[in-house]
Amino acid sequence: MRMNYRGRGRAIVAMCVAFTACRDHVPTPASSPTGVTIVARSGNLSAPDTVPPGWLPLHLEEAEGRHIVVAFRLPANATAPEVSAFVEALDTAPATPAPGVATGGLENGALGDVVVHFTPGVYVLACVRRGDDGHRHVRNGESRVLHVRPATLADSAAATAPRHTHVVGMVDFAYVGPEQWTAGPQLLRVENTGKQDHQLRLSRLREGASLGDWMQAENPDSLAITMAGMARVSPGEVAYLPVTLMKGTYVAYCLVADGASKRPHIELGMLRAIQVP
């Protein structure tokens, strides 16, 4: 089957999941007492210099343009030159360059928050969205070094992982989980158990559109509504994605490039349709 991609919408990757749950049991980033707010402008990311450890929501305010911001963990003893070298490598590396680890991020800009785990040490917040020149925004200054301080007794609330409604597994090259779920508010635990970076984006097909139509479309975004997304997650990492699902057909797939073939994971089979009756 032929697939057409235009601009950044070469494919919209995601796992579509819905699971019946009471709202009282679905924690959301908005209700968390702490978090990391990032303000993105062309050529600049603003964020706190220091944050507490634990499970914290990331919230993005797009003051200018569209952005995909990932939280990368570096070794706690990373030096300034090592941090600079890592940031420079992000522009051209097909996967997260060593010694960094992608812990998740905001795939859909300001559309919704995500929850990631911070441990004491050094992190880099970086925009990996590509501009019209083919380079990632990080090349033009959209990065920020973030220091996570040691834990204190006051951080106990964020030490426990959020209560999730469903686990979304990502392997090479598929999403693991049921193909039918119910509508409602969800908190997805996104786990990468593969050997490569993966991402999770969720789109709902417009009424009358089929998965085949969407795959063949010159502009897939015209046939689907983006619902939520988790940016790059490295092997062994876990992050959380809140989303409220309506009835319909959802599509899931991954745009991260395979290191060997350079082909996006969707072309290697990382595509799935999920029904929400």
Segment 198-213, tens digit of pLDDT: 999 899 999 999 999 9
Tell me, what's the pLDDT at 108? 84
- Is the model's pLDDT at 195 over the cut of 70? yes
Domains of the chain listed by start with CATH number: 7-22+162-276 (2.60.40.420), 29-159 (2.60.40)
DSSP-derived pairing of the beta strands 198-205 and 248-253: antiparallel
Residue 274 pLDDT: 86
Give the angle 121-127-129 at the CA atoms, nearest 5°: 150
**Considering the chain, what is the average pLDDT of its residues?**
86
Question: Which tokens hold the place of 248?
Answer: 């319909």
Please tell me the distance from the alpha carbon of residue 5 to that of residue 35, in angstroms, as a whole number: 35
- As a 3-state breakdown, the chain gives helix, strand, coil percent values, each rounded to 5, of 15, 40, 45
What's the whole-number mean pLDDT along residues 117-132? 96
Spatial CA neighbour of 276 closest among 239, 245, 232: 245
